[in-house]
Amino acid sequence: MHIEPGVVDAAKMGLAVATAAGAIGYTAKLGWDELRSTRAATLVLRAGAATIGTFAFFEILPHFQAGVSEVHFILGTTLFLLLGAAPAAIGLMLGLLLQGITLAPTDLPMFFVNTTTLLVPLFAMTALARRVIPADTAYVDLRYTDVLKLSATYQGGVVAWVAFWVFYGQGIGAESAASVATFAAAYSVVLLVEPTADLAALAGAKALRGRTGGFLSPRLHTAA
């Protein structure tokens, strides 16, 4: 979902800075909340794993250009389920930054745009998880339909934010609408693949119950 440089020009970048600042601030709140029940070293370890995972997802997994953005298998839902909301948010943000600094410096001007696009859907998915997943259900026991709801919320949020940035930056017209439609159609592939990847990750985590040394999120194996 790397939105191409120039889609939002410098004159309009103030909104992206504001939305990204809000997302980063909320990420800090999630991290602070997690520290009430988790050691700082554990949070750092999980966030580091999410950062490495995000970087690998962007660079190693298949990705391709579609309209105004690249289609990536971000696996944001997987990071959330395995590591928790705060580590996932930190990892998505830092993984994006690391990729820009090391391999794609031309993407750095769009960092705030892409940060918002990655994080806000994660927060929406986190809120949905609190509502639809029963308190007595561990994540490893989720059904396909549960995982699909979470993934659809995250991926749908990514598409919605890409559409917003395109129309905000380029105006509403036939060309911009066609670019958004092309991206949305291509991104449907992600929605088909990610729930299966989530379930595979949960199955692996279930097999490791009691042997992760506290590395993975406690909610993964135990009820809330």
User: Does residue 2 belong to any structural domain of this protein?
Assistant: no
To the nearest whole percent, how much of the chain has pLDDT over 70? 96
> At 88, is the pLDDT very low, low, confident or very high (cuts 50, 70, 90)?
very high
- Per DSSP, the three-state class of 142 is coil
d(CA 51, CA 38): 19
86 vs 91: CA distance, rounded Å? 8
| pLDDT averaged over every residue in the chain | 88
- DSSP reduced 3-state for 72: strand
| Choice among 36-40, 86-90, 185-189 with the minimum mean pLDDT | 185-189
Check residue 44 and give left, alpha or beta (phi > 0: left; psi -120 to 50: alpha). alpha
pTM: 0.91
Question: Does residue 45 lie within any of the structural domains?
Answer: yes
First to last CA, the chain: 32
Closest to 148 (Cα-Cα) out of 90, 180, 188, 192 = 192
Is 72 part of a structural domain of the chain? yes
Other beta carbons less than 10 A from residue 48's beta carbon: 15
pLDDT on residue 212: 59
Q: Is residue 104 part of a domain?
A: yes
Domain assignment present for residue 115? The answer is yes
Q: What is the pLDDT of residues 171-183, one digit of tens each?
A: 888 888 888 888 8
CATH of the domain at 119: 1.10.1760
Residue 112 Cα distances to 19, 40, 206, 218, angstroms: 8, 26, 36, 31
Q: Look at residue 213 in the predicted model and tell me its pLDDT.
A: 57
Backbone angles phi, psi at 137, to 5 degrees: -115, 120
Q: Residue 214 falls within a domain, yes or no?
A: yes
CA angle at 169 for the pair 66 and 166, rounded to the nearest 5°: 30
Residue 104 has pLDDT above 90, yes or no: no
Domain membership of residue 95 as a residue range = 10-219
Above 60 in pLDDT, residue 141? yes
* CA dist., res. 85 & res. 105, Å (int): 27
For 28-60, what is each residue's pLDDT tens digit? 999 999 998 889 999 999 999 999 999 998 888
The answer on pLDDT for 1 being more than 70 is no
The answer to whether residue 169 sits within a structural domain is: yes
Residue 127 has pLDDT above 60, yes or no: yes
Number of domains in the chain: 1
Is residue 66 in a domain? yes
